[in-house]
Structure 1
Amino acid sequence: MIILPVRVGELLGDVDDTRAALLALDFAEYALDVQADALDPRLYAVCRAYTSAAREAVGPGRAPERLVRASDEFFTVGTEFPGHSAVTGVAEWAVRIGCQEMLEAAGALSPASRIKVTVRDVATRVQSDLGRWYAQQTPDDPNRAKADRAARWEEARRQLLHIITTEPNPHTS
Structure 2
Amino acid sequence: MVAPVPADEIARLTAERDRIRDLHLAPRDDRPASAARGIHHTALISGDVLRTVEFYQDVLGFPLIEMFENRDLAGSTHFFFDVGHGNTLAFFDLPGVDPGPYAEVLGGLHHLAISVTPESWAAARERLDAAGVPYQLESGTSIYLRDPDGARVELIADPLGEMYGHQVG
Which TM-score band (shorter chain)? under 0.3
Question: Under a length normalisation based on structure 1, what TM-score does the superposition of the two structures give?
Answer: 0.25
Query: More helix per residue: 1 or 2?
Result: 1
Question: Under a length normalisation based on structure 2, what TM-score does the superposition of the two structures give?
Answer: 0.25
Q: Which has the larger radius of gyration?
A: 2
Higher RCO (CA-CA < 8 Å; seq separation 6+): 1
